[in-house]
C-alpha cells in the first residue's frame, strides 16, 4: 500500500489553486490542480483521489455540473467533494451543492486550518480504505489457497480409499504437487 493519497483541486483561477496547494503543504497528500470542470473529469479517468476541492463558480462547466458528472460515474461517485466558493453566504447555493453530492460547502474567505482539518480527515479515511482493500485481497488469496489445499487433500484421501498398488504414491504425488504450488 505505497500509494500516496491525492487531492484534486479544481478552480478556474490559478492564484486560488496556488493558495490551496500552499494550505495543503505538509499534509500526507499530493495536490493535483486543474483549471476547469472538464479537466477535472479527465483527471478522474486516470487517477484516484481521497478528496476533491471544487470551486462552485467556473466558466463553461461550473462546479455543480462537474460534481453531478463525478457522482454519476461508478468509479468516482464515492469521492468526497468539498465545494469552495467566493459567493456570498447564499443558502440556496449551499443546498444546491449538497444536492449534487457535496459533503461540505465553504465560502471564501475560509479558515485554512479548518480546510486542512477536513482534508486530513478524508485523507485518513482514504488511507484506511486502501488498507482494508489490501487486507481483503490478502484474505481472498489466502482463502483461495486454503480451498485448493483442501480439495487436494480430499482428492488424495479418495485415491487412498480407492486403494490399489500405487494409491499411496499417487496420493503423495498429489500432496507434493499442492505443497509446491505446481
Residues 36-55 have pLDDT tens digits of 999 999 999 999 999 999 99
50: Cα separation from own chain's centroid: 6
Could you give the CA distance from residue 157 to residue 174 in angstroms, rounded to a whole number?
10
pLDDT of residue 170: 86
pLDDT of residue 80: 96
81: Cα separation from own chain's centroid: 13
pLDDT of residue 112: 93
Residue 65 C-alpha cell reads as 455540473
pLDDT of residue 91: 66
Residues 57 and 89: beta-carbon distance below 8 Å: no
Question: What single-letter DSSP state applies at residue 4?
Answer: P
Torsion of CA 148, 149, 154, 156, to 10 degrees: 110
pLDDT in tens, 50-71: 999 999 888 899 999 999 999 9
Residue 23 C-alpha cell reads as 494550505
Residue 43 C-alpha cell reads as 483527471
Q: Which residues of the chain have pLDDT under 50?
A: 1
Topology of domain 6-134 in CATH is: Rossmann fold (3.40.50)
Residue ranges per domain, the chain?
6-134, 135-180
Question: What single-letter DSSP state applies at residue 82?
Answer: E
pLDDT of residue 95: 76
Residues 6+ apart with CB under 8 A from 70: 40, 41, 44, 52, 76, 77, 79, 81, 101
Whose grid coordinates read 453531478? 68
Amino acid at each position: 500500500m505505497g500509494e500516496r493519497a491525492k487531492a484534486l483541486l479544481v478552480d478556474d483561477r490559478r492564484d486560488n489553486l496556488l493558495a490551496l496547494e500552499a494550505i495543503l503543504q505538509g499534509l500526507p497528500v499530493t495536490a493535483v490542480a486543474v483549471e476547469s470542470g472538464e479537466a477535472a473529469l479527465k483527471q478522474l479517468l486516470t487517477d484516484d483521489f481521497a478528496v476533491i476541492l471544487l470551486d462552485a463558480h467556473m466558466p463553461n462547466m461550473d462546479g455543480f455540473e462537474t460534481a453531478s458528472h463525478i457522482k454519476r460515474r461508478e468509479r468516482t461517485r464515492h469521492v468526497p467533494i468539498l465545494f469552495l466558493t467566493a459567493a456570498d453566504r447564499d443558502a440556496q447555493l449551499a443546498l444546491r451543492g449538497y444536492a449534487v453530492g457535496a459533503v461540505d460547502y465553504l465560502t471564501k474567505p475560509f479558515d485554512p486550518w479548518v480546510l486542512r482539518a477536513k482534508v486530513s480527515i478524508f485523507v485518513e479515511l482514504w488511507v484506511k480504505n486502501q488498507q482494508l482493500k489490501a487486507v481483503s485481497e490478502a484474505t481472498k488469496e489466502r482463502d483461495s489457497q486454503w480451498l485448493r489445499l483442501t480439495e487436494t487433500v480430499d482428492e488424495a484421501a479418495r485415491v487412498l480409499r480407492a486403494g490399489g498398488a500405487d494409491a499411496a504414491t499417487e496420493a503423495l504425488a498429489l500432496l507434493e504437487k499442492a505443497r509446491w504450488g505446481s
